[in-house]
Amino acid sequence: MELLFLLLPIAAAYGWFYGRNSLRQEELKGKANVAKNLSSGLNFLLTDQEDKAIEQLLQLLDIEAASIDTYLALANLFRRKGDWDKAIHIHEKLHQLKLPKPQAQTIQLELARDYFSAGLFDRAEKLLRGLVDAELLREAVLKQLFSIFIATHDWHKAADFIQHVDKTESRSLRIGLANLRCEDTKNPLDVLSLRMLSQQYPQAIRPKIELARKLHQEQHDEDAAVAFKAVLSQKPQWAADILPQLRTCQLPEQEWYQLLSNLVHKQKNITATIYLADWLTDTGSSQAAEQLLLEKLQQQPNIRLFQRLLQIRQINQPSQREALQGVEQLIQAYLDTKILYSCRNCGFKTRQAYWLCPSCKQWETVEPISGIDGR
């Protein structure tokens, strides 16, 4: 009997062990079910029965909240393939789950991106407006909202987000906001607003160019010249578009010469070199103009400089005029087919200037090209 009492702790330990084991059995059974659903879901997926697969996989959601990242990846895959309905289906289901705030917000952003891709802009905008105060997502949310305003031409709505943009560090958002405000032709910006916008978003070049052009239009030549020069000091590559207008601002000759020399020697700008050669020709030193072009051509081969050299040589050596004219016409025909601008983000090429790249939808990335055909 005494020995039996000694066995009691062993019996208790066995009972505990057995109970624990059966719990584990149930857990294992549950996991086996999940694995079964998961594998049949994947099987549907692999055999191109995607709708069935999604249903099967979504049934697991309530059980396996830990695998949400997998679902997000799957939904993003569908979106990339252009299967927006399926991506929306998954994201909407995930959005209904009770999840920690950061995860729920990420899903809300993804769902908004699906709606955007599917052209459901109102729904996307509504979800995104509810997310602008989420600090970690703010930049992505604002970029997506701006994409909606571009797609719907609701330029004026960008002004609602000035303070939110200020809270981010993003350069591209600031450039985007400045451009969206310039784009709003229903409420065109006057000189004062353009001046403020240029100061508020110094990264953006467009408010500065539009300010200069507006001043020029309103015949405030002196102020326009200052504004055009500010553009040139920030983006000398725009000289080809700016110099023709700046030339009509009645700049004193010495200042014009200084400005061109600076662009020619420090920035190696082609258009400025042509203007400087013309200035030398106009002031009676066409030999010096020829010399300048020859010198620059040795440093950087460029077809436009070569063309101007031929034109000036026709003046200097009238006997060669006929032969040179033929070559020059060929060069002009060649240049007429060449692109003038290209996007530094996606490489889109065009003869027309765009503030918004038609290909990658980035602001101010389409710039005048440089190189042998450059201006």
Residues at the site binding Zn ion, with contacts judged by CB under 5 A:
343, 345-346, 348, 357, 359-360
CB-nearer residue toward Zn ion: 204 or 309: 204
CB-nearer residue toward Zn ion: 331 or 356: 356
Give whole-number Cα distances, 307 to 24, 311, 339, 347, in Å.
85, 6, 17, 27
CB-nearer residue toward Zn ion: 234 or 345: 345
CB of 237 to Zn ion, least distance (A): 16
CB of 141 to Zn ion, least distance (A): 22
The answer to whether the CB of 367 falls within 8 A of the CB of 342 is yes
Kindly state the tokens that stand for 213.
């052009």
Planar angle of CA 275, 279, 280, nearest 5 degrees: 120
CB of 218 to Zn ion, least distance (A): 33
CB-nearer residue toward Zn ion: 111 or 204: 204
Q: Element (H or E) spanning 289, and its range? A: helix 286-299
Helices (H), 169-267: 171-183, 191-200, 206-217, 221-234, 239-247, 253-265
What is the C-alpha separation between 82 and 90, in angstroms, rounded?
A: 14
Kindly state the tokens that stand for 94.
């995930």
CB-nearer residue toward Zn ion: 306 or 355: 355
CB atoms within 10 A of CB 268: 15
CB of 176 to Zn ion, least distance (A): 14
Planar angle of CA 189, 147, 139, nearest 5 degrees: 95
CB-nearer residue toward Zn ion: 57 or 180: 180
What is the C-alpha separation between 298 and 56, in angstroms, rounded?
A: 70
CB of 366 to Zn ion, least distance (A): 7
Q: Element (H or E) spanning 341, and its range? A: strand 341-343
The order of strands in the sheet holding 366-368 is 349-350, 341-343, 366-368
CB of 279 to Zn ion, least distance (A): 35
CB of 361 to Zn ion, least distance (A): 7
CB-nearer residue toward Zn ion: 168 or 345: 345
Kindly state the tokens that stand for 359.
């290909």
CB-nearer residue toward Zn ion: 13 or 360: 360
CB of 350 to Zn ion, least distance (A): 10
| Contacts for 375 with CB less than 8 Å, ≥ 6 apart | 239, 240, 270, 271, 304, 340, 368, 369
